[in-house]
Amino acid sequence: MEHNELVASIKYIRPNAQFALRGDELEWLDTEQGKPTQIEIEAGWVAYQAAQIAEAEAKAAEKTALLDRLGITEDEAKLLLA
């Protein structure tokens, strides 16, 4: 996993946890939450990506629903906001 993927995964499975990550070497500084295992981190990365996709899809669906309620297209909405 890349460094930024490790960071995203750890922050996803251990919200607000305190740690330092140098390359792929994890130094756990949090006293309230436990250090995640490599398996947890890898699973967390998968879950994080799924959550990102789900969040993006939810936003898209929300936008479509709003445009439908307004009865305008996306381009028309942009013109209104311009």
Q: Which residues are at the interface with another protein (CB under 8 A)?
A: 3-4, 7, 11, 15-23, 27, 29-30
Nearer residue to another protein within complex by CB, 51 or 76 = 51
Instruction: Report phi then psi at 26, rounded to 5.
Output: -95, 125
Dihedral of alpha carbons 47, 50, 56, 58, sign: negative
Structure tokens at 4: 């930024």
If the CB atoms of residues 27 and 76 are measured against another protein, the closer one turns out to be 27
> How far, in whole angstroms, is CA 65 from its chain's centroid?
23
Could you tell me the smallest distance in angstroms from the CB atom of residue 71 to another protein?
Answer: 28
Residue recorded with tokens 């445009």: 67
Beta carbon nearer to another protein, 29 or 56: 29
Closest distance between another protein and the C-beta of residue 13, in Å?
11
